[in-house]
Amino acid sequence: MLLIHCPYCEEERPELEFRNAGEAHIARSTDIAAESDEDFEKFFFIRSNPKGVIFERWRHIHGCARFFNAARDTITDRFLLTYKAGEPKPDISKLSSEHGPAAWANRPPDQLNVKPKAKRSTKGEA
Amino acid sequence: MAKVAVATRSPALAGKSVGGQGVSLKVLEPASRMSLRARPAAKAALSKALGVSLPEKPKTTTTKGGRSALWLGPDEWLVIDEAGGDPLADCASVKGLHSAVDVSHRNVAIAVTGPNAAATINAGCPQDLSLDAFPVGAASRTVLGKVEMVLLRTGEDAFRIECWRSFSDYVYGFLSEAARDG
C-alpha cells in the first residue's frame, strides 16, 4: 500500500485514509465578475494533467481531515514531498532526478529511443 | 384519557460480546461524547474548563478522571466522558470562540481486548498498530473495512473503537469475523 506523509499528522499514513482533491495552486480571481469567459474557462475547467510531476491537493479525510498539497509523479506514483495548505510552491528541481521512468517518459518522442551517452573514461586506453 | 407515550432510548448492540481465540469484543456502556473544535487562543480556557488538557501532538490523548481528550486534527478533539459528567456544560462558560457539539449518541464504543486485539483490528485497518508506532494512549481517526472509526489504544492489548451508530452493526460483524479468523 502507498504511504503518504501527512504534514499535519507528521507521519506516513496508508493511502486508504486519503482522497485526491485536484490540482493545487489554482487561485480564484479576486474579481471574478470581471473575468472574461476565456479566463474563467481556464480557471474553472482547464487542468494541466502532465505526464510527470504534478502539484495536487490531497485531503486526509479519514484522519485529521485537513487539506494539504503534494508534489506527485504521475508515472511512478511517487510522492516527492507534501506540505501544508497555504505554504508557497516549493522548489522541487532538486528532488526530481534526471533518471528513472519519469524522466524517460518526459523526453520528446524523437529522443525516446536514444540511449543516454555512457560516461566512459578515455584515460588509459590503448 | 390520553395515553402518555414515554420514549425509552435503546442503545445499538447493547451489551453484546464475543470471546474468541485470544481476543474478546465487548460493546461498551453509553458515554458522553463531545466533538470540539477551537483555535489555539481558546485552547487553554477550554482545557481548564474541561479538566483535561487538550493534546497538541498528533495521535495523542490525555485522560483524567474518566474523561479523555483525543487529538483528531490540529484544531479538533473528541472528548469522551465515562464518569457521568457533561463536557458540553463545562464548556458553556468558556468565552473564547469554539464549537462544541454533543455527539454522545452518534457513536457506539466497542472494546477489543486480548493478545490478538491488534491483529483483529488490522483485518480492516491499514495503520501500523505495533507498540512503537501506536503506543498506549495513541488515538487516531482511521478506517475499518469500508467505514470510518476512531481508534484509541487503552492498553498494550486493549483498544477502544468509536464508530458511528449506523455503522455499528457492520463494525461489530466485521470484528466478530476477524476475531474468528484470528
Shortest distance, CA A63 to any CA of chain B (angstroms): 5
Work out whether strand A19-23 and strand A53-59 pair parallel, antiparallel, or are unpaired. antiparallel
Across the interface, of A1, A17, A64, the residue whose CB is closest to B72 is A64
Q: Are A7 and A79 in contact (CB under 8 A)?
A: no
Q: Which B residues in the span 18-77 are in contact with A, Cβ-Cβ below 8 Å?
A: 58-59, 72-74, 76
- Would you kindly state where each structural domain of chain B is located, as residue ranges? 13-30+105-182, 31-104
Q: Does residue A102 carry a pLDDT above 70?
A: no
What pLDDT digit, counting tens, does each position of A29-47 carry?
999 999 999 999 999 999 9
Task: Report the C-alpha gap between A77 and A83 in whole angstroms.
Answer: 17
Instruction: Please report the pLDDT score of residue A120 as a whole number.
Output: 57
Asked if the C-beta of A105 comes within 8 angstroms of chain B's C-beta atoms, the answer is: no
Q: Dihedrals φ, ψ of A10, to 5°? A: 60, 35
State whether A11 and B72 contact (CB < 8 Å): no
Q: Which of B131, B181, B126 is nearest to B159 (CA)?
A: B131
What pLDDT digit, counting tens, does each position of A57-68 carry?
999 999 999 999
- For the beta carbon of residue A4, count every other beta carbon within 10 angstroms: 21
Task: Report the C-alpha gap between B61 and B133 in whole angstroms.
Answer: 14
Asked if the C-beta of A2 comes within 8 angstroms of chain B's C-beta atoms, the answer is: no
Q: Mutate one of B36, B70, B127, B161 to test the A interface: name it (highest A CB count within 10 A).
A: B127
Q: Does residue A125 carry a pLDDT above 50?
A: no
Shortest distance, CA B133 to any CA of chain A (angstroms): 10
B143 chain-A contacts, CB cut-off 8 A: 16-17, 62
Task: Report the C-alpha gap between A13 and A25 in whole angstroms.
Answer: 24
Instruction: Please report the pLDDT score of residue B51 as a whole number.
Output: 95
Count structural domains, chain A: 1
Instruction: Please report the pLDDT score of residue A117 as a whole number.
Output: 59
pLDDT, one tens digit for every residue, chain B (182 residues): 677 888 877 788 887 878 768 899 999 999 999 999 999 999 999 999 999 999 999 999 999 999 999 999 999 999 999 999 999 999 999 999 999 999 999 999 999 999 999 999 999 999 999 999 999 999 999 999 999 999 999 999 999 999 999 999 999 999 999 998 86
How many interface pairs between A and B have CB atoms less than 8 angstroms apart? 39
Residue A79 falls within a domain, yes or no? Answer: yes
CATH topology of domain B31-104: Alpha-Beta Plaits (3.30.70)
Work out whether strand A79-84 and strand B32-38 pair parallel, antiparallel, or are unpaired. unpaired
Task: Report the C-alpha gap between A124 and A118 in whole angstroms.
Answer: 17
Asked if the C-beta of A78 comes within 8 angstroms of chain B's C-beta atoms, the answer is: no
A83 lies in which domain range? Answer: 3-109
Q: Are A101 and A108 in contact (CB under 8 A)?
A: no
Instruction: Taking residues A114-122, report their average pLDDT.
Output: 57
Cell of B22: 485470544
Asked if the C-beta of A5 comes within 8 angstroms of chain B's C-beta atoms, the answer is: no
Q: Are B18 and B24 in contact (CB under 8 A)?
A: yes
CATH topology of domain B13-30+105-182: Gyrase A; domain 2 (3.30.1360)
Task: Report the C-alpha gap between B117 and B25 in whole angstroms.
Answer: 9
Read off the CATH number of the domain in which A28 is found.
3.30.2270.10
State whether A66 and B73 contact (CB < 8 Å): yes
Its ipTM equals 0.86
% of chain A with per-residue pLDDT over 90: 61
Asked if the C-beta of A62 comes within 8 angstroms of chain B's C-beta atoms, the answer is: yes
